[in-house]
A and B are shown apart, each in its own frame.
Chain A
Amino acid sequence: MKDIKIITEYWGKINPLKIEDYINVGGYTALEKFVSKMNPEKAIEEIQKSGLCGRGGAGFPMGDKLGMVAKQTGEKYFICNLEESEPGTYKDRLVVDNNPHLLLEGIIISALSIGAQKAYIYINGNYEKQKEILEIVILQAKEKKYWGENILGSKFSLEIEIFSGAGAYICGEETALINSIEGNRGEPKIRPPFPTSAGLFGCPTAVSNAETISNIPWIISNGGKKYSIIGSKNSPGTKLFLLNGAVAKPGCYEAPTGITVKKLIDDYAGGIKRGKEFWFAQIGGACGKLLLEKELKAKMEFGKECECSLGSGSILVVDKSVNIHDLLISWTDFFRRESCGKCVPCREGTFRLWEIAKRFRDGEISDRDKEAIQDILWTLDNTTFCPLGKFAGTAFRDAVGKGIVKF
């Protein structure tokens, strides 16, 4: 495959813990270019031109987000979101395992472009090894003056701190994440105000996903225009896809956006595993849609018009030997457990759906349950405070609506 590789280019080829290895393949030249030949406005302009949009799930344009914070004055923050607790998703962990300096360079450039004095890396509490890797590379980069006071002899300065999460899926949501750093319960905050105007400790803050950030050095080095012609028109670039379940070669693959699910399964993951029969695929983690065989030509992209949002980029291929009752319980139990409890429709709705899934497994589902399912799904979709509740019923709804389960 001769796909362009932006994030995975050097995976397995360089020692991730050696800054010299990264520098030898052109690492930190984007940062050098930023401090010596560009200015923040120019950098943000290039990122806007690139069309890069958020890889954390929502697909918001990165350049616009940086621009909003850049135009504010006073104390500001940049946060790298490495909470990554969407089931089936571990791409950001792989970025840290395989090329942590790429991420760090992206964080430094992004933070400087908005005029932040401090960058936080909010990392999943289970990612202990990755936290250690980041600690090592952060020290290495400091010695080379890539961050700290007067970066590479320039007027730019930046502090970087790692903040470790404590086990809560909702803390991946940016306002909950901010609450968590502030020492509060990790519940989402009401918006507006958006973090870009009043975020961490009330200061303008840009929160970006680790994969999004890892594209920044390439864009700064090669220009936004060159990036914008890769992949899908509305959400250009490459994306990390995680293929798991009944595929021959499970793993993480970088492919241009706009690729179909079918192509990912067949050309990247080696097709369906021998002896297994395809049933459906779940796209983008626990809150993702289910696609049947005939729907696999759906293109993987972000945006309002797309057929199936790619979400976190994880694709779980489910074969006919899987017990659907287990999966229904898995999905509903996940949201029941991870609902932060702030709003009633989600706290109650996720709990009831889980109870019904268990009764269904035990052959005790009643007519009342069957009717309640539709009400609960509607309530979750339309009345919850944050997207966790809204998407808590997606897989369940598809399982029922697409005839995967029958009562």
Chain B
Amino acid sequence: MIKKTIQNIILEFEPEAKNILPALKKISAVFGYVSEEDVKIMAEYFGVSESKIFETASFYDEIKTEKQPEILIQICNSANCTVNNSFSIISEVENFLKIKAGSSASSKFKLEEISCLGRCADGPVMVVNGKIFERVTKSSLHGILGEYL
């Protein structure tokens, strides 16, 4: 397999304003985050300032501007999932992994509370490293996490 480089990713996009966000999304998805070096290359390619690229990149949840933990656990805490007990799932993860939601203290795990993913009928909804799990219960939770630990 040819290793993807930032150069051959951005070459997939015409240097037009409307491709800035799609290109950032792709870079973040391929490398896990958009680095300072990537921002420089993007800025040059699109003919805009580095701060402009960074401003855009840092705004969106799907685009990361920092190296991500090995295991990123995200749990929806919007109203429908809340009514379906997402808060007890969040506490269970906190107790089990000895981490706090929102904290970056551990470099291995991170637990984030996130907004509705539109799967409200099948909540609580949990995302682990991008993979979505629905109707999570305290017992199914341990099985899911077991796969990653």
B17 touches A182 (CB 8 A): yes
B115 at interface by CB-CB < 8 Å: yes
Query: Which one, B62, B78, B87, contacts A166 given CB within 8 A?
Result: B62
Whether B117 is near chain A, meaning CB under 8 Å from some CB there, is yes
Which A residues, 237 to 272, have Cβ-Cβ distances below 8 Å to chain B?
Answer: 242, 244-246, 250-251
> CA of A125 to CA of B69 in the docked complex: distance in angstroms?
21
Quick check: B59 and A87 within 8 Å, CB to CB? no
Instruction: Report Cα–Cα, A137/B41, bound state, in Å.
Output: 35
Q: B83–A318 contact, CB under 8 A?
A: yes
B73 on interface, CB distance cutoff 8 Å: no
Query: If the complex has contacts A326-B82, A334-B115, are A88 and B77 also in contact, measured as CB distance less than 8 A?
Result: no
Given the contacts A87-B115, A90-B119, A250-B121, A185 and B59 also touching, CB distance less than 8 Å: yes
Q: Could you say which residues of chain A place their CB within 8 Å of the CB of B80?
A: 87-88, 244-245, 316
Pick the contact of A127: B24, B55, B78, B118 (CB < 8 A).
B118
Q: Given A166-B60, A330-B77, are A126 and B83 also a contact pair (CB < 8 Å)?
A: no
* Given A88-B79, A127-B118, A167-B60; A333-B19 close (CB under 8 Å): no
Within 8 A of A (CB), among B56-104: 56, 59-63, 77-80, 82-83, 87
Which listed residue, A84, A166, A246, A285, touches B63 by the CB 8 Å rule?
Answer: A166
Please determine whether A124 and B115 come into contact, CB atoms closer than 8 angstroms.
no
| Interface status of B20 (Cβ within 8 A of chain A) | yes
Q: How far is the CB of B142 from chain A (nearest CB, A)?
A: 22
A 120-135 to B, binary, CB cutoff 8 A, 1 in contact else 0: 0000111100000000
Pairwise interchain contact B25-A164, C-beta atoms closer than 8 A: yes
B21 touches A166 (CB 8 A): yes
Q: Does B6 contact A (CB under 8 A)?
A: no
Q: How far is the CB of B19 from chain A (nearest CB, A)?
A: 7
Question: Would you call B18 an interface residue if the criterion is a C-beta within 8 Å of the partner chain's C-beta atoms?
Answer: yes
Task: Please tell me if the beta carbons of B79 and A286 are within 8 angstroms of each other in the complex.
Answer: yes
Q: Size of chain A's interface in residues, with CB distance under 8 A? A: 52
Say what secondary structure dominates the interface of chain B. helix
Question: Once the chains bind, are A169 and B25 in contact (CB under 8 Å)?
Answer: no
A-B contact pairs, 27 of them (CB 8 A): A87-B78, A87-B116, A87-B120, A88-B120, A124-B118, A125-B25, A125-B60, A125-B62, A127-B118, A163-B18, A166-B21, A167-B60, A181-B18, A182-B17, A183-B46, A183-B56, A242-B120, A242-B121, A245-B80, A245-B83, A326-B82, A327-B83, A329-B87, A330-B87, A334-B78, A334-B116, A337-B115
**Which B residues are CB-close (under 8 A) to A245?**
80, 83
Binding site for A on B (CB under 8 A): 17-22, 24-25, 46, 48, 55-56, 59-63, 77-80, 82-83, 87, 113, 115-121
Residue of B nearest to A170 (CB): B59
Count chain B CB atoms within 10 A of each CB in A87, A167, A244, A340 and give the residue with the most: A87
Which residues on the A side are within 8 Å of B18 (C-beta)? 163, 181-183
- Nearest chain B residue, comparing its CB with the CB of A166: B60
Instruction: Give min CB distance, B85 to chain A, whole Å.
Output: 9
**Are A90 and B121 in contact, with the CB atoms below 8 A?**
yes
A89 at the interface (CB under 8 A from B): yes
Distance to closest chain A CB from B18 (angstroms): 5
From B24, B46, B48, B87, residue with most partner A Cβ within 10 Å: B87
| Residues in chain B near residue A334, CB distance under 8 A | 77-79, 115-116
